[in-house]
Amino acid sequence: MKYTQRVEKLRILIPKGRIFDNIALLFSSAGFPINLADRTYRPTIKADWLDAKIMKPQNVGSLLELGRHDAGFTGLDWLEESGADVEKVMDLGFDKVRIVSAVPKDFDTSDLKERRLTVATEYVNIADKWLSAQNYNYHILRTYGATEVFPPDDADMIIDNTSSGQTLKDNGLKITGTLLESSTYFVASKAALANPEKRGRIQELAMLFQAVLDARDKVMFEMNVTESLFDELVAALPCMRSPTVSPLYGEKGGFAVRVAVKRDEAPELIPILKKLGATDIVEYDLRKVVP
């Protein structure tokens, strides 16, 4: 009789909404494509050790703290709001927003602290801490989305997230303060990290995610150069480490050079390489970079 080893699945929470697309692309780039059928909350991931569920980002931290799941993704804003006791494995750096206070654009802000304000927000705990620290006299009105519509009739101030501030402007609001800067984090439960197998899987995922993110910021250059021009060209190369160099087959005194450089350096680097005598220059994207 043949026995197969049981694989202990890593239970992952993936947020719905705007964060989902970036997370799905990250998994796919790491080698684990995600498929989510319409109106379902159980995506399939091409890895027999991963089990995923879709959940609102507001709930991810609390569910991880309870040990219902092992790891997940959510914004720093919702981690701070929930106060969940979880481990921040890595900042993925996307879906960046600011948590700001805003009031109607024609509102006189000179006496804000002399009045009792009605403050509309989804971020009740973040708002309460900040307003108290700023010595405001306030009453918090919890909202459930579309917070920007409350002023001026139903609130004097809002505390909400914004990426560009345009939605606030479009609704006649002006920003008066920044409470927090947030982006998407990969987080894990402390119970999962105490399990050696699950901790190893979480670390593997983090390594692959970092490799994908590093690759997005870089491109690879390949070029040929003669021996007489080699030293000057190599000295001009920005690179992660030393470039990879190999002799050209059948061509005496020539070298093939490969180097990874930052993506934003590429447009200026190509003319420089050409002037230094490089030929057959090829630029291409990277999928993963593991230093």
The DSSP secondary structure of 248-259, one letter per residue, reads PTT-TTEEEEEE
pLDDT given for residue 110 in this prediction: 81
| The CATH number of domain 218-285 is 3.30.70.20 | no
Q: How far apart are CA 136 and CA 36, in angstroms?
A: 45
- Distances from the Cα of 120 to the Cα of 62, 180, 214, angstroms: 23, 17, 39
Rounded to an integer, the average pLDDT of 232-260 is 85
Of 282, 268, 279, whose CA–CA distance to 236 is shortest? 268
Q: How far apart are CA 185 and CA 87, in angstroms?
A: 10
Dump pLDDT digits (tens) for 126-152. Answer: 999 999 999 999 999 999 989 999 999
Q: Which pair of structure tokens corresponds to residue 119?
A: 């403050």
Domains of the chain by residue range: 10-93+184-215, 97-182, 218-285
Average pLDDT, the chain: 91
* Virtual torsion, Cα 156, 161, 164, 166, nearest 10 deg: -40
For the entire predicted model, the pTM comes to: 0.86
* Bridge partner list, 257: 223, 245
* Ranges assigned E (strand) in the chain: 10-15, 34-35, 44-45, 50-55, 71-75, 87-91, 97-104, 116-121, 137-142, 157-162, 173-182, 184-188, 218-226, 244-247, 254-262, 279-285
Q: Which pair of structure tokens corresponds to residue 24?
A: 């799905």
Domains 10-93+184-215 and 97-182 share a fold: yes
Q: Which pair of structure tokens corresponds to residue 195?
A: 């399990």
DSSP state of 228: H
Percent over 70 (pLDDT), the chain: 96
What is the fold of 97-182? D-Maltodextrin-Binding Protein; domain 2 (3.40.190)
pLDDT given for residue 241 in this prediction: 67
Rounded to an integer, the average pLDDT of 44-66 is 93
Tokens 């007489």 — which residue? Answer: 228
| pLDDT band at residue 18 under the 50/70/90 scheme | confident
State which CATH number among 2.60.120.620, 3.40.190.10, 3.40.50.720, 3.40.50.970 fits the domain covering 10-93+184-215: 3.40.190.10
Of 72, 103, 100, whose CA–CA distance to 86 is shortest? 72
pLDDT given for residue 240 in this prediction: 61
Q: How far apart are CA 17 and CA 75, in angstroms?
A: 12
pLDDT given for residue 1 in this prediction: 44
| pLDDT band at residue 7 under the 50/70/90 scheme | low
In the predicted model, is pLDDT for residue 117 greater than 90?
A: yes
Q: Report yes or no: 42 and 52 within 8 Å, Cβ to Cβ.
A: yes
In the predicted model, is pLDDT for residue 2 greater than 60?
A: no
pLDDT given for residue 3 in this prediction: 45
In the predicted model, is pLDDT for residue 59 greater than 60?
A: yes
Residue 206 CB contacts under 8 Å (≥ 6 apart), including other chains: 89, 90, 186
pLDDT given for residue 5 in this prediction: 52
